[in-house]
Amino acid sequence: MCGSYLDWRTSPYVLPYAIGLAFTVIQGNCSAPGNGHRGSERYGYDFDMPIGTEFIAIRAGVVVHVEESHSDGQIAPTGLDNYIVIRHDDGSHALYGHLTRSGALVTQGDLVSQTQTIGRSGNTGNTNNIPHLHVSVHACDPVTTGSTACPSQPITFRNTTANPNGLQQGQRYTALP
């Protein structure tokens, strides 16, 4: 079941790319069987970004994990994923996944502001060999605790077109001021 989205107009989150840019959501929330956004991962979003695309922080916080040692194309389901995890002031954590090799522009312990450029997207981990940026927000740290214990949470974005039920798969969203 997918639901309980906060009002998108007052959401604490902005899209993970700079104002004026637009990307398509190639996998939304609560995807069909056989896709990755199910169970505790059901509130993830995948943005159709070419390898090397710079992305930004959807919310301010502290960098708690950085993994950038893996190479693009290491795409097994158990794959070697590059990622950044940022803890927000309410204890939630944003996970940015599938970064390109050496694609982190921040290091553990950094304080990042909302909209700060933090990394470059890629094709590492379980991507189905489609380069994209995965973004999800979890109740706690999904790396140390595991996403089953820290399930993803439904989020909306305030700086784009109306998204009362979150971003919709197949739709292209422009980041607005």
**Extended beta strands in 12-56, E state:** 22-27, 45-47, 54-56
Closest CB to Zn ion among residues 44, 119:
44
Alpha helices in 2-160 (DSSP H): none
- 20 within 8 A of 175, measured Cβ to Cβ: yes
Closest CB to Zn ion among residues 46, 72:
46
- 108 within 8 A of 87, measured Cβ to Cβ: no
Residue 90 CB neighbours (<10 A): 9
Classify residue 35 by its DSSP letter.
S
- 148 within 8 A of 134, measured Cβ to Cβ: no
Q: CB of 95: closest distance to Zn ion in angstroms?
A: 9
Closest CB to Zn ion among residues 33, 109:
33
Closest CA to 6 of 137, 133, 113: 137
Q: Which of 16, 44, 122, 166 binds Zn ion (CB under 5 A)?
A: 44
Does 46 sit near Zn ion (CB under 5 A)?
Answer: yes
Does 134 sit near Zn ion (CB under 5 A)?
Answer: yes
Each residue 136-175 as x (binds Zn ion by CB under 5 A) or -, in order, gives ----------------------------------------
Q: CB of 111: closest distance to Zn ion in angstroms?
A: 26
Q: CB of 47: closest distance to Zn ion in angstroms?
A: 9
What does the binding site for Zn ion look like in residue numbers (CB under 5 A)? 44, 46, 134
